């Protein structure tokens, strides 16, 4: 802890406050400054306190005490991709594969609607069974059945024409984490056929088509340096997404990273506050991965500036099979239990879970 009484301490104190103040004032920094900000914050509780305070202030300014909820429907764990860190990547022969039928997906929506969900997030691997037209048909059916609900898709990289088709079918939002904004790190986490530039292009296409768009990254992925996180922050500022999803990397036993350490909860929470300041109106979830790493992870996320939670609406029989990483929480609960549990957690953190689409205020 720098001292205010010694000369050297004062200089350090001033330096840390200068860069923190500059960030709070401008909602932005250069890449090297982000590296410095993270370093300073991790070394100095006072800097962390200033960042959290500002993040909570901004969150309250734009969202009051409201927390939005999204019903997550994990509808397929088949995937043509082979992301090295992911438990459902195609080369994991031990993954028990499943896909939901259109009727099962609609049943999840009906159940969710009754529980107060007004956003449905359809997430899955890149499963070729769900052709452009099959997906469009499912989106249309949800749009017809639940006209006042928002539909979010999270099904990976596709052509702009495909994204357009789904938008016209009634999809409102799209989540596609950029995973990392550093090309070399991206290359080390993914096989060659997965192209760094293409993923970023998808995000720009989605924005252009009028989707409320979400990007994001894992914290603590194998080989990640502070410089990479700083690059992620620079990219987020440039993209200016409506949503930003970040969560700690968690190893999966059937991947090459089985023995790697998980990402830190403290660093994730710090980055949530930094992202809230960087993009004050962004929709920022306290993720399941954060809750998996720490029983109070999601509460800590909310207290750091997050304003969204995503309880699981997937059928109980398939929950365990959507295993992206080890020890994933909420695989044994019914949707109603998940919703109740999260409402309690949100309230205990001083917020209110609302029945609302929770659209972007950007």
Contact residues for ligand FES (CB under 6 A)?
Answer: 79, 81, 83, 86, 88-89, 125-126
Report what 89 binds from ligand SAM, ligand FES, none; CB cut-off 5-8 Å by kind: ligand FES
Q: At what angle do helices 265-278 and 45-63 cross, to 10 degrees?
A: 50
Q: Tell me: does residue 179 bind ligand SAM (CB under 6 A).
A: yes
A 10 A CB-CB count for 9 gives 13
Bridge pairing between strands 66-69 and 308-309: parallel
R_g of the chain computed on alpha carbons: 20
Q: Which does 218 bind (CB under 5 to 8 A by kind): ligand FES, ligand SAM, none?
A: ligand SAM
Judge whether 204 and 242 are in contact, CB under 8 Å: no
Among ligand FES, ligand SAM, none, what does residue 325 contact (CB within 5–8 Å per kind)?
ligand SAM
- Residues 6+ positions from 296 with CB-CB distance below 8 Å: none
How far is CA 300 from its chain centroid? 15
**Smallest distance, ligand FES to C-beta of residue 125, A:** 4
86 contacts ligand SAM (rule: CB under 6 A): yes
Contact 185, 234 (CB under 8 A): no
Among 325, 338, 349, 353, binds ligand SAM (CB under 6 A): 325
Closest CB 136 distance from ligand SAM, rounded Å: 18
Q: What residues pair up with 247 in beta bridges, in sequence order?
A: 218
Q: Which does 72 bind (CB under 5 to 8 A by kind): ligand FES, ligand SAM, none?
A: none
- The minimum distance between CB 88 and ligand FES, in angstroms, equals 5
Cβ-based nearer residue to ligand SAM, 48 or 89: 89
The C-alpha atoms of residue 273 and residue 246 are separated, in whole angstroms, by 11
Q: Is 85 in the site for ligand SAM (CB under 6 A)?
A: yes
Which of 173, 190, 252, 267: binder of ligand SAM (CB under 6 A)?
Answer: 252
Q: Report in angstroms the alpha-carbon separations of 275 from 103, 149, 241, 260, 285.
A: 38, 27, 11, 26, 11
Binding of residue 163 to ligand SAM (CB under 6 A): no
Identify the helix (H) or strand (E) that includes residue 178: none
177 counts as binding ligand SAM under rule CB under 6 A: yes
- Is residue 75 near ligand SAM by the rule CB under 6 A? no
Give me the helices (H) in the chain, please: 7-26, 31-43, 45-63, 102-114, 132-145, 160-169, 183-189, 196-208, 226-239, 265-278, 288-293, 297-304, 316-319, 335-348
Which of 29, 218, 274, 346 contacts ligand SAM by CB under 6 A? Answer: 218
Nearer to ligand SAM, 29 or 121 (CB): 121
Residue 44 or 323 having the CB closest to ligand SAM: 323
Cβ nearer to ligand SAM, comparing 80 with 361? 80
Return the one option of ligand SAM, ligand FES, none that residue 205 interacts with (CB less than 5 to 8 A, by type): none
Half-sphere exposure of 237 (CA within 13 A, CB side): 18
With contact defined as beta carbons under 8 Å apart, do 127 and 158 qualify? no
125 versus 285: smaller Cβ distance to ligand FES: 125
Q: Of 79 and 265, which CB lies nearer to ligand FES in the complex structure?
A: 79
Tell me, what DSSP letter sits at residue 172? Answer: -
Answer with the entry of ligand FES, ligand SAM, none that 252 interacts with (C-beta below 5 to 8 A by kind): ligand SAM
Give min distance, CB of 324 to ligand FES, in A: 7
123 binding partner (options ligand SAM, ligand FES, none; Cβ < 5 to 8 Å by kind)? ligand SAM
Burial zone of 210 (CB within 10 Å; 0-12 exposed, 13-18 middle, 19+ buried)? exposed
- List contacts with ligand SAM (CB under 6 A): 85-86, 123, 125-126, 154-156, 176-177, 179, 218, 247, 249-250, 252, 289, 324-325
């Amino acid at each position: 802890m720098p001292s205010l009484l010694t000369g050297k301490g004062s200089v350090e104190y001033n330096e840390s406050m200068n860069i923190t103040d500059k960030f709070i004032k401008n909602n932005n920094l250069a890449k090297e400054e982000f590296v410095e900000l993270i370093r300073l914050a991790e070394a100095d509780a006072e800097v962390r306190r200033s960042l959290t305070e500002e993040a909570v202030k901004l969150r309250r300014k734009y969202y009051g005490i409201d927390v939005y909820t999204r019903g997550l429907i994990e509808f397929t764990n088949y995937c043509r991709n082979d992301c090295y860190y992911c438990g459902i990547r195609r080369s994991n022969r031990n993954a028990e594969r499943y896909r939901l039928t259109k009727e099962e997906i609609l049943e999840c929506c009906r159940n969710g609607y009754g529980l107060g969900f007004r956003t449905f997030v359809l997430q899955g691997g890149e499963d070729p069974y769900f052709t452009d037209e099959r997906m469009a048909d499912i989106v249309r059916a949800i749009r017809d059945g639940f006209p006042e609900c928002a539909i979010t898709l999270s099904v990976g990289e596709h052509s702009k024409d495909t994204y357009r088709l789904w938008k016209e079918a009634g999809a409102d939002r799209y989540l596609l984490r950029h995973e990392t904004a550093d090309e070399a790190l991206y290359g080390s986490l993914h096989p060659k056929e997965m192209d760094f530039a293409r993923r970023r292009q998808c995000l720009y296409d989605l924005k252009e088509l009028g989707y409320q768009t979400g990007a994001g990254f894992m914290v603590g992925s194998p080989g990640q340096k502070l410089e990479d996180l700083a690059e992620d922050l620079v990219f987020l500022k440039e993209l200016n997404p409506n949503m930003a999803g970040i969560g700690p990397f968690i190893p999966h036993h059937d991947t090459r990273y089985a023995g790697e350490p998980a990402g830190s909860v403290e660093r994730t929470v710090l980055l949530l506050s930094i992202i809230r300041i960087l993009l004050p109106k962004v929709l920022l979830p306290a993720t399941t991965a954060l809750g998996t790493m720490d029983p109070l992870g999601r509460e800590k996320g909310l207290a750091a500036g997050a304003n969204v939670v995503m309880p699981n609406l997937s059928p109980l029989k398939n929950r365990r099979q959507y295993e992206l990483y080890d020890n994933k929480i909420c695989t044994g609960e019914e949707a109603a239990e998940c919703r109740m549990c999260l409402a309690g957690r949100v309230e205990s953190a001083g917020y209110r879970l609302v029945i609302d689409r929770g659209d972007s205020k950007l």
